[in-house]
Structure 1
């Protein structure tokens, strides 16, 4: 789920440098039609040793379930994943089992095979196994294009030590945007540390203005709505955290996609908005301060949240769909879901979600459980357009210009709306 990735608590396996579906390795699904003796290539993002170890552990569980099918994984760092996926797509060699971020699904539906109820049965999966919001992230146009392995939303993370130093009560799951702003101002004034770190990265920056406005930036019928007056007003307020109230520093360049977590982790900002996939990390013992997490502050319309996620689909060019379905079912099924929960990922299957809370450290279990319960309560599935990847690629430069005072937020949003509205 980039979400910066963070989407590292995901899938599994033997890392290889083979092509996504090379004929020599049988990556396109060579073997019997029933799957026995087949080799299925699985394409997934992974950018560091820790992620790879998690993948290997998940792979071990999946491979036990499909002993007659060999799984090979082709990986790439998040920043390169879709570039390589596009290259494989252009050559007709998309991996049989391809990882897909929900925010980018709409641009790749032609490359994936819609999953029918019969397909789900062959994979050993039922729709009822899943959190409905998680499943909807892998749907487009009324069709299901993959099975989610996790589900996520955005949290407000905070440095409890800085709150204590400033004499400000810690955030709660009933906080409003006004509570957030007041705390950010007080912390900035009393500690000399910025109260919040703004972002240039997709839902890390969109979430707080959307929560304040009470609306997503894509309508229910799939139209881009960046110039919705309520969102524009909220986004202008967000930019004002840098340019007016000065509780945030400006992001220095469009290449600084990890600016906000860097500010937070080094104690230079008291709060950030980031994905729930980082909950165990930001509240763990390895942080140099006591960290906490709560749901997004609510706007005038009340609590607001968006469900995000990623999953695995079957490539339309896959030569052995039955074997691929078996691998898909293993990777998205309860055995691997349990491994993901133990690793700090929030499973997409309802029956596996309690395992996540059981695996939390005792010192953070109560607060994180409350944050998850609150944040997912009433959250709606994220909505994107077919040009969403291009839009999110354009965000950083536009936002850096806004934070630097070179352009107004209203003008930036109007320009993006004109460029990418369908």
Structure 2
């Protein structure tokens, strides 16, 4: 949700000044006893239950090899601030996790090493098995800087029981935004007769990202060549639909109400009919028998598209034993494909029902979404870009303060300044 998203963005804004000192090519960090396994540290934001599960994976890998020994370095709070501080001191973990918005900056500053020579012809790495979107976020200037361990496309969850109660057709995989809007308006109503809407079709409060509309209308925010496109006709059409849902159709609670209660909580308590959530969200478990949950693909206009949260395992440029560290990175990443959903590889996607049985009902739609889900086109200043989009476009439209055209124009101007166009 937006609060967590912006805490990450704020941390990202601090990064440039702190990482420059960590770009030395000196090889420090990894240690190992001569003749014994190489000692490698793995940085993770995992905490509590997730950390325990990750530890089990690491323990199993350590048992299966005498080449390396992995030790987890858990950083459950202020992860990026602490990673950047360690990188500045050339003490970053040998391997660590990075979410997609940070990979370009770390690669550009030389904090992480390219993996191409290690994965080329490796028997345990098939780059063709990866879905295009997840693999692309680790690629910069024809070099591969990370292997993805999760692909979390945005899906459309819906309250099947509520749809049936209201006599509205449940969401379909081939729904257009107009069909979505029609259903959302039919769900939105004052159920207790007090003159105030208390049941909504959906929730839009900073989440989902604006790309949800821009991409499905054939537009781009910034294209693969680094050109700002958010003020072009296709993107503006998507922004118009975004504005229409909020300010004309009024199918979502206002910003204050939504953020006070929380979109996920409103969905779980039956206050909204449709919610844009990650494929791995555990709504099915949390809702239990309260109502029937459904999942399908995000609606579209001219193109099917959905944003995906993606994270990679990367290797510090300062790790001493790169050959062994790369081997550990490959083993660890492959093992995580059997832990987290959705895996970024086509072959491992078949295991989702074993990993999370409650998701089996939606396996087909998750497979389809995985084929076209993606992250943003790589930009080293993605944190600043995201902040500008919120400041000049997303929030003003949420508040009804700007037209889509004006918001797109001002956002484009801000983005061009950020990336130096």
| Larger displacement relative to structure 2 (95-104 or 189-198) | 189-198
| TM-score, reference length from structure 2 | 0.81
SS in 1 for 2:69: strand
Deviation of the 1:53 alpha carbon: 3.0
Seen in structure 2, the aligned counterparts of structure 1 residues 389 and 150 have a Cα distance that, compared at 3 Å, is same
In structure 1, C-alpha distance between the alignment counterparts of 2:391 and 2:86, rounded to whole Å: 28
Structure 1 match to 2:271:
268
In structure 2, C-alpha distance between the alignment counterparts of 1:306 and 1:218, rounded to whole Å: 14
Deviation of the 1:146 alpha carbon: 0.9
Contact 2:388–2:414 under 8 Å retained in 1? no
Structure 1 match to 2:219:
215
May I ask how many residue pairs the two structures share in their alignment?
387
In structure 2, C-alpha distance between the alignment counterparts of 1:248 and 1:2, rounded to whole Å: 15
- Determine whether 1:332 maps to 2:336: no
Structure 1 match to 2:300:
298
- Determine whether 1:374 maps to 2:360: no
CA RMSD of aligned residues (A): 3.2
| Larger displacement relative to structure 2 (37-46 or 281-290) | 281-290
Deviation of the 1:112 alpha carbon: 0.9
> Gapped runs of 5+ residues in structure 1?
6-20
Contact 2:212–2:307 under 8 Å retained in 1? no
Seen in structure 2, the aligned counterparts of structure 1 residues 384 and 129 have a Cα distance that, compared at 3 Å, is closer
In structure 2, C-alpha distance between the alignment counterparts of 1:379 and 1:183, rounded to whole Å: 24
Give runs of aligned pairs for residues 228-243 of structure 1, distance below 5 A.
Answer: 228-243=232-247
The CA deviation string for residues 87-130 of structure 1, in whole angstroms up to 9 with x for no partner, is 22222222210211123321111211111234556795343453
Residue from 90, 93, 96 that aligns with 2:94: 96
The CA deviation string for residues 128-169 of structure 1, in whole angstroms up to 9 with x for no partner, is 453344322211111100111122322111111221221111
Deviation of the 1:396 alpha carbon: 4.3
Seen in structure 2, the aligned counterparts of structure 1 residues 318 and 394 have a Cα distance that, compared at 3 Å, is same
Contact 2:202–2:252 under 8 Å retained in 1? yes
Seen in structure 2, the aligned counterparts of structure 1 residues 419 and 302 have a Cα distance that, compared at 3 Å, is closer
In structure 1, C-alpha distance between the alignment counterparts of 2:369 and 2:229, rounded to whole Å: 24
In structure 1, C-alpha distance between the alignment counterparts of 2:85 and 2:257, rounded to whole Å: 28
In structure 1, C-alpha distance between the alignment counterparts of 2:49 and 2:269, rounded to whole Å: 20
| TM-score, reference length from structure 1 | 0.81
Residue from 379, 382, 385 that aligns with 2:379: 385
Structure 2 match to 1:405:
400
Residue from 414, 417, 421 that aligns with 2:409: 414
In structure 2, C-alpha distance between the alignment counterparts of 1:33 and 1:348, rounded to whole Å: 36
